[in-house]
Amino acid sequence: MLDIVAIFSFITLFPLCVLYVHGCEQLKGKRK
């Protein structure tokens, strides 16, 4: 049961960060 929390964290947190990278880059694009 508890390993599920860890696995869920791994598969959500890092992709969320990649999305965040994309968001920061997009913000620059919009400013242009």
Partner 1 sequence: MSLNGWLQIAVFMATLILLAKPTGSYITRVFERRKTFLDPVLAPCERLLYRLTGINPEEEMRWTQYAVAMLIFSAATMLLTYVVERIQQILPLNPQHLPGVESALALNTAISFTTNTNWQSYVPESTMSYLTQMLGLATHNFWSAAVGLALAIAFIRGISRREANTLGNFWVDLTRGTLWVLVPMSVVLALALVSQGVVQNLRPYDTAKILESQKVTDSHGAVTTVTTQTIAQGPVASQEAIKMLGTNGGGFFNANSAHPFENPTPLANFLEMLAIFLIPAALTFTLGQMVGSQKHGLAVLGAMIVLWFAGVFTCYWAESQPNPLLHGVDQHVSQLQAGGNMEGKEVRFGIANSALFATVTTDASCGAVNGMHDSFMPLGGLIPMANILLGEIVFGGVGAGLYGMLVFVVMAVFIAGLMVGRTPEYLGKKIEAYDVQMSMLYLLIFPLIILGFSAISVLMPNLGLSSLANHGPHGLSEILYAYTSATGNNGSAFAGLSANTHWYNYSLGAAMFFGRFMMIIPMLAVAGNLARKKIVPASAGTFPVTTPLFTVLLTGVILIVGALTFFPALSLGPVLEHLLLRAGQAF
Q: Given the rule CB under 8 A, which residues bind partner 1?
A: 2-3, 5-6, 9-10, 13-14, 17-18, 20-22, 24-25, 27-28, 31
Q: How far is the CB of 3 from partner 1 (least distance, A)?
A: 5
Residue 5 neighbours by CB distance under 10 Å: 9
Rounded CA separation 3/16 (Å): 20
**Three-class DSSP category at 32:** coil
Least Å from the CB of residue 5 to partner 1: 7
Q: Smallest distance, Å, CB 15 to partner 1?
A: 9
Chain CA centroid to CA 32, Å? 24
